[in-house]
Amino acid sequence: MQYLAVFFLAMELAHRVALGVVMITVIILSVVLTVWSERRVAAFIQHRVGPNRVGPFGLLQPFADVMKLLFKEDVVPSSANRFYHVLAPMISLFAAMTTVAVVPFANGIAIADVNVGMLYILAITSLGVYGLTIAGWASNNKYSLLGGLRSSAQMISYELAMGLSVVSVIVLADSLNMTNIVESQTANPLYWNCFRNFLGFVCFTVAAFAECNRAPFDLPEAEQELVGGYNTEFGAMKFAMFFLAEYANMIVASMVIVTLFLGGYQVPFWSEAPWFVQVGAFAAKTVLMIFVFIWVRWSVPRFKYSQLMNLGWKSLLPLALLNLLLVAAGVLLLGGK
């Protein structure tokens, strides 16, 4: 009897691990697609052609890039701290790959549907800071250290605005559970949080751009002044890992924005949609958000560091707080709708 219980437990765990592996594979594949589409969209915006030689439409270009990186020498500068030089990309990748665990892809389909899902995302996001800081510190390089410090200061500054806009979503949903947050937005697009909570939507999206170190907030790796920022001394697969983490972060951030503000898996005007339609709707919205990420990167110039800090502390933070109080008052006045 006891053996049977242990067996079932092992089966259950194996099932979960398999689910995790599948999810991470999906993310890696979407990273590949995103990298390709980013280069194509960028080329389109700049009236170029972009990669179109490797495979149909250049689709195999990212794979070729990965192969190239794989066969490059893994250089650790002699003055760098060996152990942390290896550890830093792993931390970044870890943070990027575990956030997705609580995002619901359809009603009842999530790796883990936990009660404090929203806070879990914030907790893991806050751990992402370490990857960049440690990378900068371990390289023992001026550019890296500055890049690492800048990016960690940037990430923690924008985490506040992010947290405050998340609170406004929680107020509307009356729950910390991701599925409940999606359900509270109903199948009527007018009730989605991007309309009910427009300021929160704007604050969160801007903060998410900053958290992902994407342009216009890509100061940590501003190549004109800091060479490559925190990843100056990283090459071969370690660079690939940072790159993977960066794009995975962007994809997961899009998923979170969709879940919190764009109705998640909700299909407009079809509340009882079957699960595959919901997954499709979720994927479509996520792709839309990723497109916005790419679009902004190739349209908006980079901030100065003082502007970036001013935006985070002096504009977004008070705006998010004001929005939170407005939303809370609105919820009390209108009784939750």
Partner 1 sequence: MIESYLPIFAQIVVAIVLGVLLSTLGVLIGPKRKTAQKLTTYESGIEPVGAAKERVSVKYYLVAMLFIVFDIEVVFMYPWAVSFREYGIAGLLSMVTFALLLLAGYFYIIKKGALEWD
Partner 2 sequence: MDVSGILFVFLGAQIIVATVGTVWSRNPVTSALFLVLNFFALGGLYLLLEAQFIAVVQVIVYAGAIMVLFLFTIMLLNLDNERALAEKFDLRKGFAVLLGGVLLVELLYIIGLKTPIPIKQTALTTVQLGEAKYIGRELLTNFLFPFEIVSILLLLAVVGAIVLAKKNFTTSPKS
In 10 A of CB 204, how many CB atoms?
A: 31
191 binds, among partner 2, partner 1, none (CB under 5 to 8 A by kind): none
86 binds, among partner 2, partner 1, none (CB under 5 to 8 A by kind): partner 1
Cβ distance to partner 2 smaller for residue 69 or 149:
149
Judged by CB under 8 A, does residue 86 bind partner 1? Answer: yes
Cβ distance to partner 2 smaller for residue 52 or 140:
140
- Alpha-carbon distances of 103 from 21, 23, 63, 253, rounded to whole Å: 15, 11, 27, 11
| DSSP sequence for 186-210 | -S-GGGSHHHHTHHHHHHHHHHHHH
Query: DSSP state, 220?
Result: G
Short-list 323, 327, 337, 313, CA closest to 156: 313
21 binds, among partner 1, partner 2, none (CB under 5 to 8 A by kind): partner 1
- Please name the residue that has the structure tokens 């908006």: 300
Contacts to partner 2 from residues 64-123, by CB under 8 A: 81, 84, 114-116, 119-120, 122-123
CA 229 to CA 70: how far, in whole Å? 22
Specify whether the CB–CB gap between 181 and 261 falls below 8 A: no
Residue 232 identity? T
Q: Which two tokens stand for residue 337?
A: 């709708």
User: Applying CB under 8 A, which of residues 6, 49, 53, 74 lies at the interface with partner 1?
Assistant: 74
User: Applying CB under 8 A, which of residues 113, 195, 280, 292 lies at the interface with partner 1?
Assistant: 113
Q: Which two tokens stand for residue 252?
A: 């997961």
Which span (18-26, 36-44, 187-195, 199-207) binds partner 1, by CB under 8 A?
A: 18-26
Judged by CB under 8 A, does residue 163 bind partner 1? Answer: yes
Judged by CB under 8 A, does residue 179 bind partner 2? Answer: no
Site string for partner 1, 241-260 (x = CB under 8 A): x--x----------------
Cβ distance to partner 2 smaller for residue 31 or 129:
129
Q: What is the CA radius of gyration of the chain?
A: 21
Judged by CB under 8 A, does residue 68 bind partner 1? Answer: no
- Please name the residue that has the structure tokens 């504009």: 315
| Residues that contact partner 2, how many (by CB under 8 A) | 24
Judged by CB under 8 A, does residue 313 bind partner 2? Answer: no
In our burial notation (b when 16+ CB lie closer than 10 A, e otherwise), range 138-166 reads bbbbebbbbbbbbbbbbbebbbbbbbbbb
Judged by CB under 8 A, does residue 326 bind partner 1? Answer: no
CA 261 to CA 251: how far, in whole Å? 15
Q: Which two tokens stand for residue 70?
A: 């794989």
The distance of closest approach from Cβ of residue 270 to partner 2 in the complex, given in angstroms and rounded to an integer, is 31
Q: Which residues pair with 106 in a beta bridge?
A: 109
Which span (38-46, 159-167, 254-262, 290-298) binds partner 1, by CB under 8 A?
A: 159-167
Cβ distance to partner 1 smaller for residue 86 or 292:
86
The distance of closest approach from Cβ of residue 267 to partner 1 in the complex, given in angstroms and rounded to an integer, is 25
